[in-house]
């Protein structure tokens, strides 16, 4: 064995070949590094596509593909044309982009159901406690509106589900923590499809029927709202945890 071969063998586990990045990934990394360093901030505009390609020494298609990825992630927004609003602007990550990404991973089975339940419980216990401290009159009315809509006796299952989401998102928003609100919204949107599939399969009446489960959810929602309105943080947190866990038990019982 030669000296060079012995050196290669010695370091084989520590020095592996570097990954070969596609050009658009390198463009993506460069833009991300500018955002992470603070050189690019929300509201600032990127150089035009042609100029950015020249600055980075890459093709325009590579720049275009990197911008498509960032736009799908909600980190930039692009507008064609020559007007004052045209071009590509750094944008804050909107909650719908987060929801879209999480919805795909839930559909792919990336997260066990128990992880989703535990995450919802942890988030919503915290946000409902914050809501007890921070909710103002407008927040209270925003929470009350979906509750009244869910009280309607002829409400269909899909509409009930939407107002259910609206109520929980309003609770999270009332807490004043934007990240909690966006993650709560994303989780609720991500489980919308499996939720509706399970609910649609339920019989209308009888044991485990939709009408009975709907009534239980309605009563629980009103109890949570009453606790928040009266500022009972610990009671509200306990109620929201029971509400979430009990409902998933009902869903599994019907599965």
The CA distance from 62 to 27, in Å, is 7
Q: How many CB atoms lie within 10 A of CB 90?
A: 18
- Sequence-distant (≥ 6) Cβ neighbours of residue 185 within 8 angstroms: 95, 98, 99, 165, 169, 172
Q: Which fold does the domain 96-254 belong to in CATH?
A: 1.20.120
Q: Is 80 exceeded by the pLDDT of residue 18?
A: no
The average pLDDT across 79-90 equals 74
The average pLDDT across 80-98 equals 73
pLDDT tier at 85, thresholds 50, 70, 90: low
Q: Which of 153, 149, 173 is nearest to 162 (CA)?
A: 149
Q: Name the more confident of 235 and 195.
A: 235
> What architecture is domain 3-90?
Orthogonal Bundle (1.10)
- Delimit the domains of the chain by residue range: 3-90, 96-254
The CA distance from 250 to 247, in Å, is 5
pLDDT 10s digits, 141-189 = 999 999 999 999 999 999 999 999 999 999 999 999 988 998 898 888 8
Q: Name the more confident of 100 and 84.
A: 100
Report pTM. 0.75
Q: Which of 66-70, 77-81, 220-224 has the lowest mean pLDDT?
A: 77-81
The separation between the first and the last C-alpha atoms of the chain, rounded to the nearest angstrom, is 64
The average pLDDT across 55-78 equals 90
Provide the 3-class DSSP secondary structure of residue 33.
helix
Please report the pLDDT score of residue 107 as a whole number: 76
- What is the average pLDDT score of the chain? 87
pLDDT 10s digits, 192-218 = 888 898 889 999 998 889 999 999 999
The average pLDDT across 214-230 equals 97
Q: Which of 224, 126, 246 is nearest to 183 (CA)?
A: 126
pLDDT tier at 84, thresholds 50, 70, 90: low
């Amino acid at each position: 064995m030669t000296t060079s071969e012995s050196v290669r063998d010695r370091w084989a586990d520590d020095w592996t070949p570097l990954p070969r990045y596609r050009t658009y990934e390198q463009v993506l990394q460069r833009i991300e590094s500018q955002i992470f360093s603070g050189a690019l901030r929300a509201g600032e505009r990127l150089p035009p596509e042609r100029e950015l390609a020249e600055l980075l020494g890459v093709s325009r298609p590579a720049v275009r593909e990197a911008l498509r990825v960032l736009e799908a992630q909600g980190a930039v927004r692009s507008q064609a044309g020559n007007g004052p609003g045209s071009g590509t602007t750094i944008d804050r990550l909107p909650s719908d982009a987060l929801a879209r990404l999480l919805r795909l991973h839930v559909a792919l089975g990336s997260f066990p159901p128990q992880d989703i339940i535990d995450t919802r419980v942890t988030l919503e216990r915290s946000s409902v406690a914050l809501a007890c401290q921070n909710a103002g009159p407008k927040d209270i009315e925003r929470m009350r509106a979906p509750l009244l809509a869910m009280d309607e006796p002829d409400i269909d299952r899909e509409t009930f589900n939407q107002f259910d989401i609206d109520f929980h998102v309003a609770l999270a928003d009332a807490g004043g923590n934007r990240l909690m609100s966006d993650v709560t919204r994303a989780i609720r949107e991500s489980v919308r499809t499996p939720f509706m599939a399970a609910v649609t399969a339920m019989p209308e009446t009888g044991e485990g029927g939709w009408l009975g489960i709907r009534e239980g959810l309605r009563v629980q929602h009103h109890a949570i709202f009453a606790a928040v309105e009266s500022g009972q943080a610990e009671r509200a947190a306990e109620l929201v945890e029971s509400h979430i866990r009990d409902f998933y038990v009902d869903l599994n019982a019907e599965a």
